[in-house]
Amino acid sequence: MSVFRLVLLFVFSCAAIGSVVAAVPEPTGPPPPPVQELIRLLQDPAVAAWLHEAQAAGAPEAAQPASAESEEQRVASDIARHVDHAREHLRAMAVAAPRVPVEAARAADEFRRERAQYPPGSTLALFLLSLGLGAGAELLLRRALLGRRRVSAGAAGPGGAERVDGSGVRLMVSLLSVAVFAAASIGPFLAIEWPPLLKELALNVLLAIVLTRLALAVMRALFASAQGNAAAAGDRDPRSAARNAIGFWQRYTTAFVLYLVWGSVLTRIMLFFEFSTDVRHFAADALALGLLAIALAAVWRRPPRRSEALAPSWRRPVVGVLLTIFVLVVWLLWVAGMRGAFWLALLAVVLPRAIAFAHATISRLLTPPDAAAPPTARRALLEVTVDRGVRALLIVAAAFWLAHVGGVDIARMTSVETPLSRLMSGVLTSVVVLLVADFVWQLVKTGLNAELSAASIAQPGTAAAIRDARMRTLIPIFRNVVFIVIFVFAALMALAALGVQIGPLIAGAGVVGVAVGFGAQNLVKDIIAGMFYLVDDAFRVGEYIQSGSYKGTVEGFSLRSIRLRHQNGPIFVIPFSELGAVENMSRDWVIEKFNISVTYDSDIERAKKLVRQIGQELLNEPEFAQNILETLKMQGVDRLGDYAVELRCKMKTRPGEQFVIRRKALAMIKKAFDENGIRFAFPTVQVAGGGEAGPAVAQQALELVKPAVAS
C-alpha cells in the first residue's frame, strides 16, 4: 500500500465536489425586458434575413485564420485566463463568507415553516419507514444468497476459483444488497407525497446512504485484495508492517469517502434551499480545504514502508515534504480551474500504481494454490490476456478521460482537419496501435514460453525427445523473429498515424539496407548459414558437438551465432559462418571401444568369458540398463605388442552415457581379472647376461652415482 491511494481520493474528491456545484443549473426566473426585446427582434423575418446576408458576406473572411497569434501566445493567454479565474474566484469567496450565516438562517426558517404544516414526527417516521423497508429487503436477500452459497460451497473445489469466490463474489453480493436496499427504500419514498423541500432533503440523505454503502463495499473489496496480495507475496503475519499500513490507508480512505459523499449532499441541499452561487462555491471550497487537511495529516502520519527501514533518516521527512507539495499543487490546479493539468498530474501518479495493483491481483487470483505446480499454457495465456487487457483498458480509459476533461471532441476531431486535431488523432491511434502490438506480442511470447517449458528432456532416442529438442532449438529463434516483425509493423503504423510518410522511409531503409548489406557481408553470411544449419537439423539445444577446435554442449542460438558450453566450463560464442563441418556426438547412439593390455601368459578365453559376464551384470543394473543398447563384449585380440597382448572391447550406448558405463566396466574388469589370475601388462626392463654380471653392473652404477653426490 502506498500514498497514491490517499492522493487519488483527494483529487477525486475535489473534482466531485466541484462538479456537483457546477453541474446543477441555477434556478432562473423570466428574462428581463431587454432580453425579451432582443428575442422579439431575432424572431422578426426581416432581421433574420439581414443577419443571414451579413453572415454569408463575411464567410470568405471567416475562412481566413481567425487569429494570428502563435501557439506560445495562446498558451500564455490560457495561463493568464486561469490566473484571472483563480483571482476572481478568491475575491468571490471573500465576498461570500459573511453571507453564509445569513443564508443559512433563511434556509432554516424555510425548513421550519414547511415542517410545521405536518404533524410532529410524521416526516421522520416516514423516512425511517423507508429505511426499514430497504433494510428488510436486504436481509431477506442475504439469507437467500447465504443458503445458496452453502449449497454451492460443498461442491466447490480448491483453487483459484475459491479465491475469486472469496473476493469477487463477496463484492457482487455487497453490490446486489446495496441495489436491493436502494430500490426498496427509495421506491416507496417516491410513492409518498412529500413537501418539496423535505422531499429533496430526505431524498439526498437516502442517496448519500446508498452511495456511502456502495463506496465502502468497493473499498472493502480493494483492500481485501491488497491483503491477499501481501499474503501471496509471503507476508502472512496479520500484525506485520505491511498489513498495518493497509489498515491505516483503509481507515483514511473510509474517512475520505464519508466526507466526500456527505459534503456533496450538503452542496446539493444548499442548491434546493436557494443558496446563492457564491455561497455554494464557498461551501465547496471549505469542504475541499477539509479534504486537504485530512490528506496532509495522512501524509505526515503515514506508516513507514519496508524500504524506509534501511534508508537514511532524512528520507522520510523529504518524502513527506514532496508529497505535501504535490497535494498543494493539485489543490491549486483545481482552484484555478485547470482541469486538464489537474487530471494529468493525477493520472501520471495513479495510473502506474493502478496497473501494478491490477497485475498483482490478477496474478494472485489466477495462481493455483499449489505454488510448486508448473504453470500450464492455458493458465499462462489466460493470465496474460486478462492482465494486458486490463492494462490496455486502464490506459485507454485514462486517455479518453483526459480528452474529455480537456474539451477535446473525439468524434469532431476525426472529421475536422486542423493541426491540433491531426496530432491528437495520431497520438490516440498510436497509443491504440502500441497497446494492440504489446497485447499480441505478450500472447505470442507467453504461448511460446509455455511450449518451451513443456519441451522437457524425455527418454533419449524417442520421438518425444527428438521433438522436444527440436522445439528447444527453434522456439527461441522464432520468438526473436516474431518480436522484430511486430515491433517493425507497430512502429511503422504508429508513425503513419502521426502523419509521417512511411513510403519514403521504407524506400530509404531499403537503400540503407543495401549499403549495410555490402558493408556487413559477414553478418548476412552468418544469418544465412544459421538458417541452413537449422533446416538441415545439424544440431539441437542440449546436444554435444565438435567443430574444428570448438566443442561443447549447445546452450542456445541467436540470429548469427551459436553458444557452446565446454565440459570444463568455458562458453564459446561462434558465428555460424565460422562453424564449418559439425560433428554431432549426441544423435541416436554411440559405440565405445577400448583396449585392455594383459601379459602373454594370460588365458585369453578366460578373459573373454569374464568380460561377457561383466556385460550381463551391467545389463542387470537399473542405473545402466536403459542406456545400454548393446552390452559389453570382447571382440578378441587386437594387437600383439612388445610387452602385452591388447584385447579390444566394445559396447553400444546412448549418446553421452558411454563415459559413465565405461568407468564402471573398467572397475569391474580390474576386480574380475585380479580374482582370476589374469595380470595386466606394463612396460618392464630385463637385463641379460646371467647372475655373474649382476655385481659388476651394480658396481658400475655406484661409480656413476658418486660424482653426482660429490658435486
Cα three-residue angle 691-694-698, rounded to 5 degrees: 170
| 695, pLDDT greater than 60 | yes
Residue 41 reports pLDDT greater than 70: no
Residue 337 has a pLDDT of: 65
φ, ψ (nearest 5 deg) of residue 377: -65, -35
More confident call, 667 vs 121: 667
333-369 pLDDT, tens digit per residue, is 776 667 777 788 878 888 887 888 777 777 777 766 5
What's the rounded mean pLDDT across residues 622-648? 86
Angle among Cα 698, 702, 706 to the nearest 5 degrees reads 175
Of all helices (H) and strands (E), which one includes residue 581? none
Give the C-alpha separation, 539 to 557, whole Å: 11
Give the pLDDT score at 399.
Answer: 80
Task: Grade residue 649 by pLDDT with cuts at 50, 70 and 90.
Answer: very high
Residue 15 has pLDDT above 50, yes or no: no
Q: Calculate mean pLDDT across residues 200-217.
A: 80
Q: Nine-digit cell at 41?
A: 427582434
Instruction: Say yes or no to pLDDT of 563 above 70.
Output: yes
Strand partners, 3: none
Whole-Å CA distances, 625 to 484, 510, 611, 614, 661? 47, 59, 16, 13, 10
Residue 630 forms beta bridges with which residues?
A: 652
The answer to whether 647 and 607 have CB atoms below 8 angstroms apart is yes
Q: Which residues contact 270 (CB under 8 A, 6 or more apart)?
A: 107, 279, 280, 283
Backbone conformation region of residue 383, classed left if phi is above 0, alpha if psi is from -120 to 50, else beta? alpha
H-helix segments, 97-195: 99-115, 122-155, 160-164, 170-191
pLDDT reading at 552 higher than 80: yes
Model confidence at 318: pLDDT above 80: yes
pLDDT tens for residues 122-158? 667 777 777 777 778 778 877 777 665 554 444 444 4
CB 246 within 8 A of CB 80: no
Provide the pLDDT for residue 310.
66
Task: For the chain, report the end-to-end CA distance as a whole number of angstroms.
Answer: 86
Name residue, grid cell 588365458: 603
Cell numbers describing residue 313? 533518516
User: Who contacts 639 (Cβ-Cβ below 8 Å, separation ≥6)?
Assistant: 595, 646
pLDDT confidence of residue 518: 66
> What nine digits make up the cell of 492?
511503422
Residue 469 contacts residue 542 (beta carbons within 8 Å) = yes
Residues in the chain: 711
Q: How deeply is 15 buried, as exposed, middle or buried, from its count of CB atoms within 10 A (0-12, 13-18, 19+)?
A: middle
Find, among 591, 580, 584, the residue nearest to 544 by Cα.
Answer: 584
Cβ-Cβ contacts under 8 Å for 626 (sequence gap 6 or more) = 459
Q: Which of 624, 621, 687 is nearest to 659 (CA)?
A: 624
Q: Which residues, in sequence order, are CB contacts of 341 under 8 Å at separation 6+?
A: 333
In this prediction, residues 498-502 reach a mean pLDDT of 77
Nearest residue to 261 via CA among 17, 577, 526: 17
What does the block give as the cell for 580? 564449418
pLDDT in tens, 55-99: 555 444 444 444 444 555 665 666 677 667 667 767 777 777 777
Residue with cell 432562473: 28
What's the distance, CA 420 to chain centroid?
33
pLDDT tier at 693, thresholds 50, 70, 90: low
| Candidate ranges 57-66, 140-149, 425-434, 661-670; pick with highest mean pLDDT | 661-670
- Does 628 score more than 80 pLDDT? yes
Coil, strand or helix at 12 = helix
Full DSSP string of 396-457: HHHHHHHHHHTT--HHHHHHS--HHHHHHHHHHHHHHHHHHHHHHHHHHHHHHHHHHHH---
CA 695 vs. chain centroid, Å, equals 91
Tell me the pLDDT band of 161, cut-offs 50, 70 and 90: very low
Comparing 119 with 403, the larger pLDDT belongs to 403
- In this predicted structure, the answer to whether residue 216 has a pLDDT above a threshold of 50 is yes
Q: In what order do the strands lie in the sheet with 561-565?
A: 571-575, 561-565, 550-557, 544-547, 583-584
Q: CA torsion, points 417, 418, 422, 425, in degrees to nearest 10?
A: -80
- Cα distance between residue 684 and residue 487, in whole Å: 73
Position 232 pLDDT exceeds 80: no
Average pLDDT, the chain: 73
What string of DSSP letters covers 57-116?
HTHHHHHS-S----HHHHHHHHHHHHHHHHHHHHHHHHHHTTHHHHHHHHHHHHHHHHHT
pLDDT (average), residues 288-313: 75
Q: Are 435 and 486 in contact (CB under 8 A)?
A: no
State the Cα–Cα distance between residues 227 and 390, nearest whole angstrom: 20
Which of 96-100, 220-224, 590-594 has the highest mean predicted lDDT (pLDDT)?
590-594
Structural element, H or E, at residue 311: none
